A and B are shown apart, each in its own frame.
Chain A
Amino acid sequence: MDGEIEILVSEEEFQELKRHKREFKPNLNNLEGLERTLRTLQYRYLTEKLTELRKKLEEMKEHYSSLIEFEKMAKEDKVYLMKKRAELSEENRRLEAKVRGYEGNH
């Protein structure tokens, strides 16, 4: 079956392909070269992707552990702040009563 495939290219690419027109035939016979090239390109892509993922994962792990630490600190702080609020509330109430008593006597 004779099929047809149209490939759209930029003007620049078209001119480049036109320049290589005479090499089309030998290139079409070099499927080994094509396979070697695509294999190498995929290898490069995967090694770059791997490096990028390792870096991202490392950063993510750091963020995550600092967030865990922050959560721990914030929980402890909440307990501390609530305790201080109760203490101050009690003390202020007591002092307020003293001030009122003092003002009532004068």
Chain B
Amino acid sequence: MKVIISTGGRWKKLKVKIDDGTFARVEEIAKKYGFRIDDTIKMLLKGDFIDNVPPEVTDRKIEELKREVDSLKKELYGLEGKWSPLKFKTYYLAMDNQNLAIQLAAMIAQNKRLRRSLGMDEKEYRELEEKIHYYLNFGSADRG
């Protein structure tokens, strides 16, 4: 196999002859570890080799890691699949509560006005007002 390395220009070219057996083996190694053939050839020619390899780096361990990566990806996609519709559902639930909060804020104001008119004491709405405040401000933190 003749390998021509160029910058795309007409003149700057490096030609290297790689015997077919070696080339086939290089292709095989590149494929095995998921590398592109051009990157692999460049690495090979430059002699960019890693010498101090920890003992745990084995093909067996790589297969194990691949399986683990696949299983985590599956778990993640599964969770993402459940998360999106739930987020949508809770958003609309919070919007319903926001509408209720708007109505209730007006009703509390009306209640206070009516009680004043009748000379009655004001009612305590602290818990309700906290909820109203929460839902009236819902989403503003996300937007901020």
Sample (28) of A-B pairs whose CB atoms are under 8 Å apart: A4-B3, A20-B45, A20-B47, A28-B22, A28-B44, A31-B22, A34-B44, A37-B49, A37-B50, A39-B59, A41-B33, A43-B61, A43-B65, A60-B80, A64-B79, A67-B83, A67-B90, A68-B86, A77-B135, A78-B96, A78-B97, A81-B100, A81-B101, A81-B135, A92-B107, A95-B118, A96-B114, A102-B118
Per DSSP, chain A at the interface is: helix
Q: Smallest Cβ distance from B96 to chain A, in angstroms? A: 6
Q: Which of A8, A24, A33, A81 contacts B16 (CB 8 A)?
A: A24
How many residues belonging to A are interface residues under a CB distance threshold of 8 Å? Answer: 71
A62 to B30: give the CA distance in the assembly, Å: 39
CB nearest neighbor in A for B41:
A7
A27 to B82: give the CA distance in the assembly, Å: 51
**If A13-B42, A67-B83, A99-B118 touch, does A3 touch B1 (CB 8 Å cutoff)?**
yes
How many residues belonging to B are interface residues under a CB distance threshold of 8 Å? Answer: 78
Q: Smallest Cβ distance from A103 to chain B, in angstroms? A: 9
**If A42-B62, A81-B97 touch, does A36 touch B50 (CB 8 Å cutoff)?**
yes
Which residues does B use to contact A, with CB under 8 Å? 1-8, 12, 14, 16, 18, 20, 22, 25-26, 29-30, 32-35, 37-38, 40-51, 53, 56-59, 61-62, 65-66, 68-69, 72-73, 75-76, 79-80, 82-83, 86-87, 89-90, 93-94, 96-97, 100-101, 103-104, 107-108, 110-111, 114-115, 117-118, 128, 131, 135
